[in-house]
Amino acid sequence: RRRFLSKPLEDLFYFCDSAQEVSAYVKQVSGNGKNNNNDIDIRRTLKELYRSLVSLEKIGSPAISILGSHAITKDSLDYQNARLIAREASRLGISVLYRGHRGISEAVWKGYQEGKKLSEGSLARAISLWVKDYRDYAPTGDIQLGFTYPFEPKIASIRHSKAFIFMPGGLGTLDLLFEVLCLMQTQKINRAPVILVNKDFWQPLDSWLTHVAQPAGVISGADLKRYQVVNTAREATEIIEEELTN
C-alpha cells in the first residue's frame, strides 16, 4: 500500500499447498534456460569490494547503517525520523552508511550535515553505497562508493556497521534486515543493535515472527530479542548512544 514494491505481490511470490502445485509451477518457469548468475563479473566484484574495504577502514569512527525506502517523501514522519537519527549520530561522532540518494537516504544525508555543524572536530563521515546506473544516482556523501551488483553494498554495510537502523522499506530493506539477523543467529558477525523505527509499519512483521514463525519452531525466542521495535528518533538515538559511546 505504501508503494515500496515496484511489482505486484503476485509477480514476486507463488503460494501453494501441495507438492503437485510446486512441481507444476517449477515446470512452468524453468524453461527459460537462464541462470541468475551468468552475468556476474567476479573480478569486478572483488575489485569493488576491496576498494570499499580500504576506504571504509580509514573512517576513524564507529559507523551505523540507516536504511529504508527511496519512496519515502519529505513530508513523512519516517523522513524526519531518519534525518534526526543521522543528525544525532553525526553530532556524537558516529559515521553513517546509507544506500541511494532519495527518500530515507536523502534524509540521512541532510541530517548528517546538520549534525556536523553542531560538533566541531567530529570524525563522523557520511558514506554513500550505491549501485551504478541505478535510478539515475546523484552522488552525495563524504565517501561515495559505487558497485555493479546490489549484493555488494549489502556486504559493505554489514562489514562496517556497529548498529543497523531500519526505517520502513521494501524488499531491499527486508533483505538486509534478515541477512543481518541470520548472520547474528549463526554467529558469523558480532551482535549489534538492530532497531526498527515506526511501530505501525514493523509491528505486523514482529507479530508474524512471534505468533507464526516461533510456534512453528523455525526461530527461537532468542531470535526475537535480536531486534528492537521503537517509534521515535529519540528512542533509536538513545540506544545508539548507549551502545556505541559508552
Tens of pLDDT, residue by residue over 142-167, are 999 989 888 899 999 999 999 999 99
Predicted local confidence at residue 98, as pLDDT: 95
Cα separation, 134 vs 112, whole angstroms: 23
Are the beta carbons of 241 and 209 closer than 8 angstroms?
no
CA terminus-to-terminus distance, the chain: 40
Q: Which of 164, 194, 154, 196 is nearest to 66 (CA)?
A: 164
Are the beta carbons of 78 and 72 closer than 8 angstroms?
yes
Cell triple for 206: 514482529
10 Å CB burial of residue 51 (0-12, 13-18, 19+) is middle
Residue matched to cell numbers 505504501: 2
Cell triple for 120: 566541531
Decide: helix, strand or coil at residue 175. helix
What radius of gyration do the chain's Cα atoms show?
Answer: 19
Cα separation, 246 vs 164, whole angstroms: 17
Mind listing the pLDDT tens digit for each residue in 8-64? 766 667 778 888 888 887 777 666 556 666 678 889 999 999 999 899 888 888 999
Measured in whole angstroms, how far is the alpha carbon of residue 131 from the centre of its chain? 14
Are the beta carbons of 64 and 163 closer than 8 angstroms?
yes
Cα separation, 63 vs 157, whole angstroms: 9
Q: Which residue has the higher pLDDT, 93 or 136?
A: 93
- Residue 143: HSE in the Cβ half-sphere, 13 Å Cα cutoff: 23
Predicted local confidence at residue 30, as pLDDT: 67
Predicted local confidence at residue 206, as pLDDT: 97
Mind listing the pLDDT tens digit for each residue in 215-226? 999 999 999 999
Highest mean pLDDT among 1-10, 14-23, 94-103, 196-205: 196-205
Amino acid present at 227: Y
